[in-house]
Amino acid sequence: MPITTYEGETFVAYLDISGFKELMKKGDKAEKALGKFYSTVYDVGRDFQHQSNLSFVDVNAVLFSDCAILFARNPTLTSNEVETVRQNKIKSLQSVLVFVKRVNCELILSNRDPMMTVCSIDYGKFKYEDRIEFEGIDKGFVVGKPFVNVFLDIESGKPKIQPSECRILRSNVNLDRDIPSNDEPFSLLEPTSGYYYYHWMLQSLREMRQFKQDYQDTYQLRYAGMIQVLQKYVSRTRTRHTSDSVSL
């Protein structure tokens, strides 16, 4: 079913496969990764549409290449009352965060070829337009400052976003005092100067310190592995040089 046109202020997420450029060099792996990514986003989106939990709003996903643009379909408001707008905004953010978590959990827990993503989220005026299709041409029109912001954050944000990370650009959210921090998924948000980091993989932020240490250790292990490879080949070189010296 095509996505119907939407225009309004909402949360927009840019979900991108980590390491896809390397997978592109391996042809068949890239194709399998895309298939898994697309089917996972589709399955999560289908479940969202059929669920009876009224605490969520619909989340649509526009898929292309190795990424997905997610946006919450905020209901049309009949009132500009501050509390109504606030509640609507919180429900939309909650929906996008839960969607992102479900996709990431399915991808990382896959028995075959688990995958990681990076994700950036922003809030603002956004428009998706379902344009007329012709044979051989499928058109979807996406525009809005949040889309530009999340794309640029993934590509060149500081600090550079790391595999598995999901973060919200804090400047445009304006919910600092309103987020119900004791309830999931909001209880998994870590505020920093420029972002909220969403630790979707944790049960609570009490695990955050140990998680960050374990995550950092993986880089050290990778570095240690590089050293072992270098030692292996340098040892061979030294052995050969020693043999040459003895023969002389």
pLDDT tens string 8-37: 999 999 999 988 777 776 667 788 888 999
Q: Is the pLDDT of residue 132 over 60?
A: no
pTM of the model: 0.85
Q: Is the pLDDT of residue 136 over 70?
A: no
Under the banding of pLDDT at 50, 70 and 90, the label for residue 221 is confident
The arithmetic mean of pLDDT across residues 205-230, rounded, is 85
Residue 53: enclosing H or E segment and its boundaries?
none
Spell out the alpha helix ranges (H) of the chain: 20-24, 28-50, 82-108, 145-156, 208-247
| Predicted local distance difference test score (pLDDT) of residue 137 | 43
Q: Is the pLDDT of residue 179 over 80?
A: no
Fold assignment, 6-201: Alpha-Beta Plaits (3.30.70)
Under the banding of pLDDT at 50, 70 and 90, the label for residue 122 is very high
Buried b (16+ CB within 10 A) or exposed e, 212-245: eeeeeeeeeeeeeeeeeeeeeeeeeeeeeeeeee
How many residues in total does the chain contain?
248
- Quick check: bond before 185 cis, omega within 30? yes
In whole angstroms, give the CA distance from residue 77 to residue 64. Answer: 31
Which candidate, 109, 94, 108, places its Cα nearest to that of 168?
94
Q: How far apart are the first and last CA of the chain?
A: 78
Instruction: Write down the mean pLDDT value for the chain.
Output: 84
Domain ranges of the chain: 6-201, 204-248
| Predicted local distance difference test score (pLDDT) of residue 196 | 95
